[in-house]
Amino acid sequence: MKKKLVMVLMAVMVATAALGGCGQKGAGTGTSVSAEEEQDVEISAKELLKATDYKVEKYVKLNDYMNMTVELSQDYSVTDDAIQSYIEYLMSQYPSYEVSDKKTVESGDIVNIDYVGKVDGEEFSGGSATGQHLTIGSGSFIDGFEDGLIGKNVGDTVDLNLKFPDDYNNTDLAGKDVVFTVTINSIDTQKEMTYDDLTDEYVSQNFSNQGITTVDGLKSKVSSTLEQQVYSNKMSEIQSGVLSKLLEECEVTIPDGLLDQRISEYKDRVNKAVEESGKSFEDYMGMTEDDFNDQVSDYIEESLKQELILEAIVKDQNISISEKNFETFVDSYVSQYGIADRDTFYKEYGGEDYVRLSYAENQALSKVMDSVKTTVADSSDSSDTGAADSSADAE
C-alpha cells in the first residue's frame, strides 16, 4: 500500500518542493498582482486543531524537542573524489572513439554510420541519425540491420530492406516493412580514457546538448547534482531521526477508541484497493492477510503517536498555515498521484479539516528539523548548525 494513512508520514522534501516560492507573491515577475490575488487567509493553530475531538495537550507530554541532536550515519559532504567518481561513470557512458585504418566491416567492429529509415517511402520519427556509433553484433538494431553491414566497406551506402518485429514497442511500426539507407563513415576503435584525459573538447562533444562545454562546467554541474542528492538523503535521515527521538522521548497516550478507529479505516482502505486491483490480497500486498493483520496494529499505533506528537507541537508553537500555500500543496499532490480533484483527495484522507491539520503537522516537523543539531557516527566532528543552515550549504 503505497499511500500512507496520514500525510505527515510523507517525505518532508515533497512538501518543501511543492511549496517552493509560494510565499513570494509576484516576486521577480516584474508584473503587478491584483488585489484579489494578494488576498490570503492564515489559519490559526486553534482553528486547525478543531479537526480533532480531543485536546491533544492532555495526551502528549513533549520533550525538549527544539534542542535535539540526531546522529547521522555518514558525512554528507560532497568531496572531490565523489565528483571524480561520478565523472568517470559518465565517461564510461560516453566513450570516445578514434578512426582506425580498417576498411571492411566485420562482426564486433564499431562502425560510425549515418542512416535514414523509410516506411512506405516516408521517413518516420526516430528513424534517422548521423554520426551514430554501432557495435556490429550487439543486437542494438532490428534483425538484419547489423548483419547487413558485414562485408561492406567504409564509404559504402547500402539499402537494407528489413521488417520491424510484430511485437515492436512502437505499435505504429510493428510488423511493417522498412528501408534503411546506411552510409558507413568509418570503422572506429574505442579509446581507453581516464579522468586525466578529460578535455574541453570531449565535454563539448558529449554534453553540449546540456549546455556544458568545458571541464570546469562539467565539474560544477556534477557537484551541484551530487549536492542535491546528498542533501535529499541527509534530510530524509534527519527526518527519520527526529521522528524516532520524538517517539522515544515524548510521553503519549492514545485517546480511547482512536487506535481501533484508525486500524479499521486503514484495513477498509487496503481491502478496497485489493478489490479494485483484481488481485489476491497476497499478490497485491506482498504478504498474507494474517501477516498483514499481525503487523498493522503496530504500524498504525506508531503512526498515530507521531501524529499526536506533531499536533502537540502545532499547538505548542502556535503554528498557522497559509490557505494559498495549502491549496498549492494539495493541487501538486493531486496532480502527482493522478487523483481526480481536491474533493476526492479530501474524501480519501479523512476530510479537508483533517488534511489541513496534517499539513500543519508537516510544518511542525520542518520547524523541529530546522533546529536539530547533528553529529556523524564514529566521528569526533559534530555540527551545531541546524537543518536550515545545512540547506544553505548544499545550494
How long is the chain? 395
CA distance 309 to 297: 18
Q: Are strands 373-376 and 69-72 parallel, antiparallel or unpaired?
A: parallel
CA distance 4 to 14: 14
Q: Which three cell numbers stand for residue 293?
A: 493483520
The tens digit of pLDDT for each residue in 133-152 reads: 999 999 999 999 999 999 99
Q: Which of 344, 342, 313, 243 is closest to 48 using CA atoms? A: 313
| pLDDT tens by residue, 271-318 | 988 999 999 999 999 999 999 988 999 999 999 999 999 999 999 999
- For the chain, what is the mean pLDDT? 86
Band (175; pLDDT cuts 50, 70, 90):
very high
Domains of the chain (ranges, CATH numbers)? 7-25+37-79+218-394 (1.10.3120.10), 97-190 (3.10.50.40)
pLDDT of residue 37: 54
Contact 36, 384 (CB under 8 A): no
Confidence of residue 269 (pLDDT cuts 50, 70, 90): confident
Residue 26's pLDDT band (cuts 50, 70, 90): very low
Beta carbons within 8 Å of 384's beta carbon, 6+ residues apart: 373
Q: How many CA atoms lie within 13 A of 310 on its CB side?
A: 28
The per-residue pLDDT for 5 is 33
Lowest mean pLDDT among 41-45, 224-228, 387-391: 387-391
Query: Residue 121: is it exposed, middle or buried by C-beta count within 10 angstroms (0-12/13-18/19+)?
Result: exposed
- Give the mean model confidence (pLDDT) for residues 86-113: 95
Give the whole-angstrom CA distance, residue 91 versus residue 193: 8
